[in-house]
Amino acid sequence: ITQKGDGFHADTVGLSGLSLPLARRLMNDGNWHRSYNRGPYLTGFRRSTTATSALLTLTTATNTMHDWITTGRAYVRAQLSADALGLRFQPISQALQEFPQMDELRTELERLVDVTPPGKLQMLVRVGRTKPPALSPRRDLRKIIQR
C-alpha cells in the first residue's frame, strides 16, 4: 500500500479492538499465508458467514463474456440500491472461481442454488447491516492512465 497506493489492509476486513492494531503490525506480503495470520482470519470469516442471514446470488443461463458484464452491471446497481437502504454487501465468490481446487465446492454451491450447466452462479454476496467499512486505498488515476 505504501509503495503502490492500493491493496488489501486490515482496516477493510472488519477488525476492531486489539485485533486491528495487531493485524496491522503482523500482516504483510511475506507472512500472509502463515498460520498465525491465516488461522484467526479464517476463524473470524467462518463466524461472520455463519451469522449471515441474507445472501444475494447472481446467476445466468450461460457463462459468456456478455453474461459476466451483465452480471457486473447488475451487481453494481444492486449494491447502490442496498447502500441507499443502509445495507452492506460482501462478495464471497472465491469458491465460484474456475480452478481445480474449487471444483467440488463450486459444484455444491451451484447445486444448492439449483443452477445446472450451461447456467452459472456468477456471484455469491453476503448482505447485512454494519457500520460503513473503511475505504480501500486506491492509486491516483493520473499515475495509471496514460495518454
Question: What is the SS3 assignment for 19-50?
Answer: HHHHHHHHCCCCCCCCHHHHHHHHHHHHHHHH
Residue 137 pLDDT grade (very low, low, confident, very high; cuts 50, 70, 90): confident
pLDDT digits (tens, 9 = 90+) for 67-119: 999 999 999 999 999 999 999 999 998 889 989 999 999 999 999 999 999 99
**What's the pLDDT at 29?**
67
Cell of 116: 445446472
**What's the pLDDT at 78?**
98
**What's the pLDDT at 58?**
98
The CA–CA distances, whole Å, from 87 to 5, 75, 124, 130, 145 equal: 28, 14, 16, 7, 33
**What's the pLDDT at 22?**
80
pLDDT digits (tens, 9 = 90+) for 23-57: 777 777 677 778 877 787 788 888 888 889 899 99
The CA–CA distances, whole Å, from 146 to 68, 95, 140 equal: 27, 35, 12
- In our burial notation (b when 16+ CB lie closer than 10 A, e otherwise), range 28-64 reads eeeeeeeeebeeebeeeeeebeeeeeeebbbbbeebe
pTM of the model: 0.78
Angle, helix 19-26 to helix 35-50, in steps of 10 degrees: 140
The CA–CA distances, whole Å, from 143 to 2, 6, 81, 147 equal: 14, 12, 31, 11
Residue 128 pLDDT grade (very low, low, confident, very high; cuts 50, 70, 90): very high
